[in-house]
Amino acid sequence: MNENILDDIYSDDLRGLLQKDETVIWEGKPKTGVNQIINTIIRLSLIFMIFSQWYKENYALSIMFVILLITELFHELKQFQKRKNTRYLITNQQVLFQLLEKGKKQFHSIPIEDIKAINMQPEFGNTGVIFLELNESTTVDFKTTNLIRSGQRVFPTLELIEDPHKIEALINGEIKNLDKSN
């Protein structure tokens, strides 16, 4: 009975979606950093200090700005939660996504043969966003989120990936391997 409890605690739902003949090529998650939250707090605090110097006598505007500041902070914490709970798994057959949607973990996959092209966009540091352009006949039932600026992406993406050139090459290699076998 204790083994079942431990199995539940340590179960990996994303890896549980793999077929027996699949090989994991790469597993990762968006780079999460407290630095992003700290940068947001510092930026908003500086704006607040400048704003409060101009509007010392107008308390209504100061209160509105404090509310805006708190709202922005909650938004940044929500983005941090999304980054923390997002995972990606690339196998020789598919790209798997674990995304936080409406407060719950959701799992999605895209077969490698449905990926038409890979585009990589560098971001800050050694991170980047990998866009998966799908074949015209392929549709997916999910949207990925821009984890830096919010908003949904047009194509499925792997967000804030460290060493994105390496991951781009891995996926392109699997697409070429699939083309050779067909």
Is the domain of 51 the same as that of 135?
Answer: no
Instruction: Tell me 155's DSSP state.
Output: S
CA dist 1 and 11 (Å) reads 15
pLDDT at 147: 80
Q: What is the mean pLDDT of residues 113-126?
A: 84
Whether residue 66 is predicted with pLDDT greater than 80 in this model: the reply is: no
pLDDT at 2: 43
pLDDT at 88: 93
pLDDT at 4: 46
Is the domain of 96 the same as that of 66?
Answer: no
Domain that holds residue 10: 2-30+86-181
CA dist 76 and 78 (Å) reads 5
Strand 115-122 and strand 157-162: the pairing is unpaired
Whether residue 96 is predicted with pLDDT greater than 90 in this model: the reply is: yes
Indicate which CATH number applies to the domain containing 138. 2.30.29.30
Contact 44, 73 (CB under 8 A): yes
Q: What is the mean pLDDT of residues 154-159?
A: 89
Is the domain of 130 the same as that of 100?
Answer: yes
CA dist 89 and 27 (Å) reads 4
Helix (H) or strand (E) holding 129: strand 127-134
Q: Which of 6-15, 52-61, 79-88 has the highest mean pLDDT?
A: 79-88
Whether residue 6 is predicted with pLDDT greater than 60 in this model: the reply is: no
Is the domain of 15 the same as that of 104?
Answer: yes
Whether residue 9 is predicted with pLDDT greater than 70 in this model: the reply is: no
**Count of C-beta atoms within a 10 Å radius of residue 83:** 20
Contact 86, 147 (CB under 8 A): yes
Is the domain of 137 the same as that of 106?
Answer: yes
**Number of folded domains in the chain?**
2
Is the domain of 18 the same as that of 106?
Answer: yes
CA dist 73 and 95 (Å) reads 32
Helices (H), 55-156: 59-85
Boundary residue ending a domain (53, 81, 109): 81
Whether residue 55 is predicted with pLDDT greater than 60 in this model: the reply is: yes
Boundary residue ending a domain (81, 97, 118): 81
Q: Which residues pair with 105 in a beta bridge?
A: 100
Token pair of 18 as six digits:
């793999």
Is the domain of 6 the same as that of 54?
Answer: no
E strand residue ranges, 2-124? 24-28, 87-91, 94-101, 104-111, 115-122
Which pLDDT band holds residue 5 (cuts at 50, 70, 90)? very low
Is the domain of 77 the same as that of 8?
Answer: no
Among 39-53, 97-111, 141-155, whose mean pLDDT is lowest? 39-53
pLDDT at 114: 92
pLDDT at 82: 86
